[in-house]
Amino acid sequence: MADFLDAIKQPNSAAEHTDHVRAGNISDEVAISVANVSKVYKLYDRNRDRLKEALHLGRNIHCREHFALDNVSFDVYKGETVGIIGTNGSGKSTILKIITGVLSPTSGELNISGRISALLELGAGFNMEFTGIENIYLNGTMLGFSEKEIDDRLESILEFADIGDFVYQKVKTYSSGMFVRLAFAVAINIDPEILIVDEALSVGDVFFQNKCYRKFEDFKKQGKTILFVSHDLGSISKYCDRVILLERGHKIGEGDAKTIIDMYKKVLVGQLDSTMSEAGPGSDEKGSMWKDLMQLNPNVDAYGSGLAEFVDYCAYDNSGTITNTIIKGDEFTVKVKIKFYETIQDPIFALSFKNMQGTEITGTNTMFEKITTGTPHAGDTYIVTFTQNMSLQGGEYLISLGCVGYREGSFTVYHRLYDVFNLTVISSKNTTGFYDMNSVVTVRSEDEDAVQKP
């Protein structure tokens, strides 16, 4: 194995390069210091312009500058777990690649104090012609470890990956699941001082994902410094001491998880700088439709008799913000506007929730709730609100709306919208099943119980 390591080790390994470009003064309390970092890419209208600039030929070269990051600054303190969230293209992965040395910043300063392990593009350094064992040593060497240090960690890596004798086969023969298990096991078991995670905790099957999260929680309990990027806002809320919000390369927010997630929800629907009126969503001060502020299903299944129509709809949280994202335990409202084209007696308005597998989880309607809806006439518009606490587990749900009733003795669907939009439920505590019973749990000794019995 020593000959193998000598053959693959390069004088400028990733670890050595990272230490070199990040030399600098940094506070004893700061693990990662990002100061005024920008990353600029040049976008060329024509490929020949790119070639001309590379060869320093000609002056009429047309290109545009794209700021993947623009003057971003933040510190991560030792022992902190800091989350980074933002929409696609906001610069999250770019800043992680700069911190880990994969990319160089165009300007700004970056200082790191501690050994980094990065869960970014799992298995990016694997050689498909090498066996699993050889790739363990290859990756470990690239991360700056000696052969003895890798030997000391080998058993824990193999136990965590749990791919059996396949570790002695060439990686090109692995299934995708086996590949990411081994890659994750290598990255997570080198005992880093700083862990960088980019959407890497949900790899493999559900049991391996559980193992990944347990390891992540162990790192947090050990006081490791963790920088965590994820679209899973539930995990961000549960694990992070502080959260940074990026948008189009700019840092637009930093603070506690709840505050920044609320900001992010407004970013998603373009409402960050707007305020809701006292009338709540749908006041139409700007003449916009509620649904224009929602992420909608472009392939919604819509049908009906045409006698009535859902002309607008949305969900809004307990702060009055129209959003597709609801915090578990918070009150929220689904609001709809229905226009009638003929006189209809006692229409029934319905709301239902399905999971991503299509199973109907829960729902209600005005008939179940014993609400009299009256007789709307042609040209009338009704507004219906369904307000409730969110007790569903964290995850994704699909919302369906219905306006039905009995016309001349026959059940009639006036308008129905299946899976019209989704709701993302953010949870820092999930229980078993579809919904949380919100149980109050007490634990005490038998002696205490005897004293405290009523």
| Pair 265, 323: CB distance under 8 Å | yes
- The answer, yes or no, to whether residue 413 has pLDDT greater than 50, is yes
Are 337 and 247 in a shared domain? Answer: no
Residue of 121 and 393 predicted with greater confidence: 393
State whether 221 and 301 are in the same domain. Answer: no
Same domain, 240 and 328: no
The CA distance from 227 to 258, in Å, is 17
- Shared domain check, 223 and 137: yes
Enclosing domain of residue 218: 2-263
DSSP conformation letters of 73-113:
EEEEETT-EEEEEE-TTSSHHHHHHHHTTSS--SEEEEEE-
Q: Is residue 395 part of a domain?
A: yes
| pLDDT at residue 390 in the model | 95
284 shares a domain with 233: no
pLDDT, average across residues 89-105: 90
Residues 64 and 100 in one domain: yes
Domain assignment of residue 82, yes or no: yes
How confident is the model over 230-237, as a mean pLDDT?
Answer: 81
Q: In which band, very low, low, confident or very high, does the pLDDT at 450 lie, cut at 50, 70 and 90?
A: low
Q: For all residues of the chain together, what is the average pLDDT?
A: 83
- DSSP notation for 283-317: --TT---GGGGS-B-TT-EEE--SSEEEEEEEEE-
CATH of the domain at 129: 3.40.50.300
Q: What does the pLDDT read at residue 338?
A: 97
In angstroms, the CA 257 to CA 240 distance is 7
pTM (two decimals): 0.64
Boundary (domain end) residue, out of 263, 288, 306 = 263
Better-predicted residue by pLDDT, 189 or 383: 383
Same domain, 206 and 325: no
Q: pLDDT digits over 394-410, tens only? A: 888 999 999 999 998 89
Residue 275's pLDDT is 39
CB within 8 Å of 34: residues ≥ 6 apart: 72, 73, 74, 75, 95, 99, 108, 110
**Mean pLDDT value across residues 399-428:** 93
Q: What is the pLDDT of residue 41?
A: 87
The domain that holds 343 is classified in CATH as 2.70.50.60
Please report whether residue 436 resides in a domain: no
Rg of the chain on CA atoms, in Å: 28
Q: Is 445 part of a structural domain of the chain? A: no
Provide mean pLDDT across the span 348-371: 94
Of 229, 263, 297, the residue that ends a domain is 263
Determine, yes or no, domain membership for 166. Answer: yes
37 & 170 share domain: yes
What's the domain count of the chain?
2
Task: Give domain status of residue 442, yes or no.
Answer: no
pLDDT greater than 70 at residue 277: no
- Same domain? For 22 and 113 the reply is yes
Tell me the mean pLDDT in the region 316-333. 91
Mean pLDDT computed over 52-64: 66
Residue 440 falls within a domain, yes or no?
no
Q: Is the pLDDT of residue 57 over 80?
A: no
Q: Is the pLDDT of residue 74 over 50?
A: yes
Out of 219, 237, 263, a domain closes at 263
What is the full DSSP assignment across 331-378?
A: EEEEEEEEEESS--SS-EEEEEEEETTS-EEEEEETTTTT-------T
pLDDT for 16: 41
Residues 229 and 322 in one domain: no
Give the three-class secondary structure for 395: strand
Which are the contacts of 334, defined by CB distance < 8 A and separation ≥ 6?
Answer: 313, 314, 315, 351, 385, 386, 399, 401
- Which range of 61-70, 186-195, 328-337 scores highest in mean pLDDT? It is 328-337
Task: Answer whether residue 270 is part of any domain.
Answer: no
Residues 225 and 371 in one domain: no
Does residue 312 carry a pLDDT above 60? Answer: yes
254 and 324 in a common domain: no
Amino acid letter, 294: M
